[in-house]
């Protein structure tokens, strides 16, 4: 009987661990860098009030350049082999376009109304990932000799930190074609890239996910971050800092900016799981702060907006 109970408890614990023991997996996507797009002529130019602004034309790059497809395909294959299949940027762009076309055509059967979309929703409709693998290569030529300088940077889309890297120049060759040299460059650099990515993940599991938290206020709210609350007349900005200190992993965060209207907290380390063992992201973490501000004695209505796994903003004063 005792043995049965112990076995049942063991099965229960294993089930809980398997069900809730997985952190939110970041998405990765290879994106050609601005430098590469510029050097290869894949840029769009427009006049922004007298200033010429250039933005990369990814769609044309994917339609016209076979080398970029070869490199991305090889990187995707090697990352998939490591259990991290990547988002394919070319497909993501096509999906966005087809979704936009479908949304434009869609109408309600009953009322004929279209799909609701705010200007912010429209802005958010871009190809995105949690970790951007920014890819640059240049072909160096000295007489008949050719070599490839390869640079692959892993960038956290929220903290803007470079979390992984692999860079270097390959051996020069008289006879090898550029695609062969590119293939060699990917083969020789991917292990270093995944190794530095592994270091980042190890740090994340040990010290929590690093996120950014922003606090803003609506124009029409009569309070601000310097408004004092409670018996000890503590400023709202300090109250928020105290909440972060209590809830961040090992109390780790930096107050980068704090004015009466806004606050910016960087390097906020959040746990990967909540007390129920469920994986959490920035939005779920900051939801606790949002709830605290809504409740007594503050009673501040607020809106919580998120951006992927690693960025959350609370706008004080209303929804």
Partner 1 sequence: MNKEIVKISIVMFIAFFTCTISAQRKKRIANKDTQEWRYDIECEGIAKQGSKLVKVWSYSKNPKFAIGQAMKNAVHGIIFKGYAGGGNGCTPFKPLARNVTAEKEHEAFFKSFFSDGGEFRKYVTAAADGNIAPGDRLKVSKREYKIGVVVNVATDQLRKRLESEGIVKALNAGF
Find the part of the chain contacting partner 1 (CB under 8 A) among 119-127, 162-170, 288-296, 305-313: 162-170
Say how many CA atoms lie within 13 Å of 101 toward its Cβ.
6
Judged by beta carbon, residue 165 or residue 255, the one nearer partner 1 is 165
- Is residue 201 within 8 A of residue 294, CB to CB? The reply is no
The binder of partner 1 chosen from 9, 171, 207, 278 (CB under 8 A): 171
Does 11 bind partner 1 (CB under 8 A)? Our answer is: no
- How many residues touch partner 1 under the rule CB under 8 A: the total is 29
**Strand 254-258 relative to strand 263-270: parallel, antiparallel, unpaired?**
antiparallel
Residue closer to partner 1, measured from CB, 168 or 318 = 168
CB of 234 to partner 1, least distance (A): 38
Looking only at Cα atoms, what is the longest distance across the chain? 83
Least distance between partner 1 and beta carbon 272 (Å): 8
Taking the complex as a whole, how short is the minimal distance between the CB of residue 184 and partner 1, in angstroms?
Answer: 5
User: Could you say which residues in the range 82-141 bind partner 1, by CB under 8 A?
Assistant: 82-84
* 34, 201, 255, 305: which one binds partner 1 (CB under 8 A): 201
How many other CB atoms are found less than 10 A from the CB of residue 263?
22
List the one residue from 189, 217, 283, 311 that touches partner 1 (CB under 8 A).
189
Q: Of 16-75, which residues contact partner 1 (CB under 8 A)? A: 21-26
Helix (H, G, I), strand (E, B), or coil: what is residue 304?
strand
Return the range that interacts with partner 1 (CB under 8 A); candidates 50-58, 65-73, 138-146, 191-199. 191-199
Cβ-Cβ contacts under 8 Å for 314 (sequence gap 6 or more): 213, 214, 215, 216, 286, 289, 290, 293, 302, 303, 304
DSSP conformation letters of 186-235: HHHHHHHHHHHHHHHHHHHHHH-EEEEEEEEE-TT-S--TT-EETTTTEE
Q: Please identify, using beta-carbon distances, which residue of 190 and 258 lies nearer to partner 1.
A: 190
d(CA 188, CA 180): 12
177 binds partner 1 (CB under 8 A): no
Which two structure tokens, joined as six digits, stand for 228?
């004092």
Span interacting with partner 1, options 90-98, 137-145, 189-197, 216-224, rule CB under 8 A: 189-197
Cis peptide bond N-terminal to 297, omega within 30 = yes
Site for partner 1 in 270-299 (CB under 8 A): none
Figure out which of the listed residues 67, 81, 117, 160 binds partner 1, where binding follows CB under 8 A.
81
CA pair distance 295, 158, nearest whole angstrom: 29
Question: CA–CA distance from 179 to each of 30, 78, 141, 145 (Å)?
Answer: 18, 17, 15, 15
Q: Are 57 and 37 in contact (CB under 8 A)?
A: yes
Among 7, 17, 195, 256, binds partner 1 (CB under 8 A): 195
Residue with smaller CB distance to partner 1, 148 or 155: 148
Say how far residue 83 (Cα) sits from the centre of its chain. Answer: 19
- By CB under 8 A, which span of 59-67, 81-89, 207-215, 292-300 interacts with partner 1? 81-89
**Residues at the interface with partner 1 (CB under 8 A):** 21-26, 78, 81-84, 166, 168, 170-171, 184-185, 187-189, 191-192, 194-195, 197-198, 201-202, 205
């Amino acid at each position: 009987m005792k043995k049965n109970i112990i076995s049942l408890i063991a099965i229960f614990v294993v089930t809980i661990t398997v069900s809730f023991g997985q952190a939110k997996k970041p998405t990765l996507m290879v994106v050609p860098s601005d430098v590469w797009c510029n050097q290869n002529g894949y840029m769009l130019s427009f006049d922004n009030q007298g200033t010429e602004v250039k933005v990369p034309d990814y769609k044309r790059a994917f339609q016209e350049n076979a080398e970029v497809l070869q490199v991305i395909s090889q990187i995707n294959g090697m990352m998939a082999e490591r259990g991290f299949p990547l988002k394919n940027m070319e497909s993501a762009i096509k999906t966005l376009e087809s979704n936009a076309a479908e949304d434009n055509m869609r109408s309600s059967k009953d009322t004929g109304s279209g799909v609701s979309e705010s200007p912010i929703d429209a802005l958010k409709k871009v190809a995105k990932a949690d970790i951007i693998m920014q890819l640059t290569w240049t072909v160096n030529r000295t007489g008949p000799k050719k070599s490839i300088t390869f640079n692959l940077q892993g960038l956290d889309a929220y903290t803007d930190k470079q979390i992984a890297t692999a860079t270097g120049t390959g051996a020069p060759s008289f006879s090898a074609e550029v695609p062969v040299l590119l293939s060699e460059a990917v083969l020789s650099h991917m292990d270093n890239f995944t190794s530095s990515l592994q270091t980042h993940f190890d740090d994340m599991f040990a010290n929590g996910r690093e996120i950014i938290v922003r606090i803003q206020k609506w124009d029409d709210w009569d309070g601000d971050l310097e408004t004092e609350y409670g018996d000890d007349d503590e400023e709202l900005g300090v109250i928020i800092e105290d909440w972060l200190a209590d809830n961040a992993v090992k109390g780790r965060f930096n107050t980068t900016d704090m004015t009466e209207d806004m606050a910016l907290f960087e390097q906020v380390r959040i746990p990967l799981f909540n007390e129920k063992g469920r994986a959490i992201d920035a939005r779920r973490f900051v939801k606790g702060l949002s709830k605290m501000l809504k409740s007594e004695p503050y009673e501040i209505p607020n809106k919580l907006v998120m951006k992927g796994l690693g960025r959350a903003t609370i706008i004080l004063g209303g929804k």
